[in-house]
Amino acid sequence: MENNNWNFLLPYTFTKGITLKNRIVMAPMTTMSSFFDGSITRDEVDYYAERAGGPGMIITGVAYVVENGKGFEGELSIAKDTDIKGLSKIANAIHKNGTKAVIQIFHAGRKTNSKILRGVQPVSSSPIAATHPADSETPRELTHEEIDGIIQDFGKATLRAIQAGFDGVELHGANTYLLQQFVSPHSNRRLDQWGGSFEKRVRFPLAVIQKVASVIATHAKEPFLLGYRLSPEEIETPGIRLDDSLAFARMLGDTPIDYLHLSLANYKRTSLHETSDQEPLLDKFVQVMANKKPIIGIGSVERPEDAEAVIHSGAALVAIGRQLIREPKWVQKVEAGDSDSIRYLLSPSELDELQIPLAMQTYLEGSFREVMHFSTDVPEEDNYQKSLAPMEGFEKKM
């Protein structure tokens, strides 16, 4: 196929009027490279600048909205007004050649520990420890007042994102963090207005969406995107099953979000539990969200044919993660008809050249090694079409 016939290179316009120059999105990925207080480092700015200019939109690695929501060392902060100046440098770096900048925001909930929180006990919907990692700490159950406070914290973080010059925020409701913890019957055992029935378990993320949307409506002078990321299934019992996520997606279709971003390690993945059902999960969500909200498809998209397959499935946009670590100029090379020069392996000798921060290099060579296609390694056998991958909530953070 000639490069000018790839559908993923066509522009895309959201209903708010924001136009992406193409349909490639750089997925949010952990850099582990912020300072101890969550402020940005020059390494992070350089990392995003190296990958800007090609994708229509870049979503940053996740930023915590309040101090007790920090999930790991080296994580970006959007929890205080003093973060705005540094965050604006990331937004400016991403904006090169018309790329749009979205910052992902979250609260880690129980997916952290008291060492990272400097002696403070983690919090969650209920006092139930995560099953992964095995030594997870038991969190403290959030009070009604604290839940309301976190909803406000997401709103305050959104205002900071607007002031820093981003084009949108993405709520990280995937990979077992706090928004997902309220939805999950494993982590949410409450019997009040925030838990019990499915309708009550989804009340917290829906309240966060409404708060963020109200801040955008009040403070954004230009169109500003609101995205939501979702993991289709959990492996825990009890846990989120596909029917739960499809029902939640239907609800999300009636909220002010501008897109739904799935969290999948393989765009061809089928249900982890309903093994007889061979319809890809991406296809199911496309059907549920048809004529409601655009979907960002994702998962082991490496070659142009993969990206085209995701668009062909009905997804409006296609996110590329690890492949943009290996090859920052992926989009430019495809546009130029120079696909033969795309790196599909990551050489340890090229990590500095690729502007990968040192802390992130350690992370990739450790927790993420099995999914990074290092040129010095034997290729991994698991393509994560039938299983969860490390980045879906199982990797060991620093």
Active site residues: 177
Q: How many residues does the chain have?
A: 398
Provide the pairing of β-strand 12-13 with 19-20. antiparallel
Q: How many CA atoms lie within 13 A of 327 on its CB side?
A: 21
CA distances from 52 to 63, 224, 241 (A): 19, 19, 36
- Whether the bond between 133 and the residue before it is cis, its omega within 30 degrees of 0, is yes
Amino acid at 351: L
State the SS3 of 134-146: CCCCCCEECCHHH
Report which residue type is found at 86.
G
Q: What does residue 344 show for φ and ψ, rounded to 5 degrees? A: -115, -5
Alpha-carbon distance of 293 to 288, in angstroms, equals: 9
396: CB partners within 8 A, 6+ apart = 133, 366, 367
DSSP label at residue 395? S
d(CA 392, CA 172): 12
State the Cα–Cα distance between residues 311 and 322, nearest whole angstrom. 19
Which residue matches tokens 């007004």?
A: 81
Closest CA to 12 of 250, 258, 266, 335: 258
The identity of residue 171, as a single letter, is L
Question: Which residues, 6+ apart, have CB-to-CB distance to 343 below 8 Å?
Answer: 326, 327, 350
The Cα angle at residue 182 between residues 277 and 27, in degrees rounded to 5:
65
Distance spanning both ends of the chain, measured CA to CA:
43
